[in-house]
Structure 1
């Protein structure tokens, strides 16, 4: 009876390598195994591949609030309604859909004064449109409205796409490394036998560093931070091996 034979190969970097781009390749752990199976001998190479993908925020929301205090209900509501209509018109003129705009109104009374308050929350996928809307409202309505600080965030579609990309990138890295190892061993890489995602991680980072500025430059504290989410994936992939000298049937 033939005994089961195994060959192990490992390629590991001396230290973790950092990349500014989308992907971060880490170590490689390779195991070439010859297994005994009924009727034939199955040879395979098992590769661990990793990748990282960075994804900046793709959406931003702005909150605009306004209020009025008058001695009559009509005066209070009319004062707010005029400005509110101008805000909504400005948003539409910049190509923002009504489904991305929400409006809330609240009327209450304190002593002899009626207070009318309104709030408009607008979501943008185009950051330049957001800047244009904020600029127009501040120029035309000045202190009669309060334009809040833009809040950047990631949409569900953006996060889903990022998770798919990082998994696919990890598998691509594993395949490339397995191909190089098979060539080193004088073998031809066959089709994949098993693909397993072993670990995924996500972490959020705020763009608060002074990247691109001089070391002596003061940070611009009033500029809103755009968050970035980084996802990492580690996969284990097994490929079959073929002997180059074997003739095709």
Structure 2
């Protein structure tokens, strides 16, 4: 359809696509929809390392094993599953001393529970035990749900746009004919924006950074126009 005023103004054009078939001409409207969804990391890994040096193998092994047993017992008491922990040990000899290094790697989905365990280990164990800073990350399940949510919202936005277009044209929106995801992206915000307040900037240096992922989706959707039913006289 084309409309022009009396004066010489640029023509405004609205298109509807007509697809010919053997029996009917299909009227439809094609629109695009875009959406973005963000989510913080849902998992965290924590490294707890133990090291000691003794003059004999038995002494260093017993010393490290006692600390490891206390760490593992603390994890079990807080409901941490065995499959969410891994343990490594390494023994080596240097001159007249035996050195043993051990590491417990724990995966958490409950960040409050992780903070409680860190506090207990730091309070109860000596300097031979080092509790590292947690590393936050997104699980594959979280990323998959994020992408799906962005796509669904993009389709909803396209449907709302098509409804407004159909109302503007005095038409009734029918069923969707085609839904196609044109583009999907993920953007990782690893770095926080620079803080203006110097005090807040100094405080944030001691807090672990929780990364955020933003998923975006662009879809193209075609809807049919319903035929108006003519009332019989």
The equivalent residue for 1:91 is 75
Number of residues of Structure 1 aligned to a counterpart in Structure 2: 219
Match of 2:200 among 197, 215, 218: 218
Aligned CA distance change for structure 1 residues 38 and 60 (closer, same or farther; 3 Å): same
The equivalent residue for 1:115 is 99
Residue deviations 1:84-125 (CA, integer Å, cap 9, x gap): 000001111111111101000111111111111100000100
- Unaligned stretches of 5+ in structure 1? 1-5, 8-29
Aligned CA distance change for structure 1 residues 146 and 60 (closer, same or farther; 3 Å): same
SS of the aligned residue for 2:80 comes to coil
Note the C-alpha offset of 1:83.
0.3
1:172 aligns with 2:156: yes
**Bigger relative contact order, structure 1 or 2 (CA pairs below 8 A, ≥6 apart):** 2
Which protein shows a greater Rg? 2
Note the C-alpha offset of 1:179.
1.0
CA distance in 1, matches of 2:126, 2:208: 20
CA distance in 2, matches of 1:215, 1:71: 52
CA distance in 2, matches of 1:75, 1:31: 84
Normalised to the residue count of structure 1, the TM-score between the two structures is: 0.83
The equivalent residue for 1:10 is none
Normalised to the residue count of structure 2, the TM-score between the two structures is: 0.88
Aligned CA distance change for structure 1 residues 237 and 92 (closer, same or farther; 3 Å): same
Is the 1:31–1:46 Cα contact (8 Å) retained in structure 2?
Answer: no
- Unaligned stretches of 5+ in structure 2? 3-13
SS of the aligned residue for 2:125 comes to helix
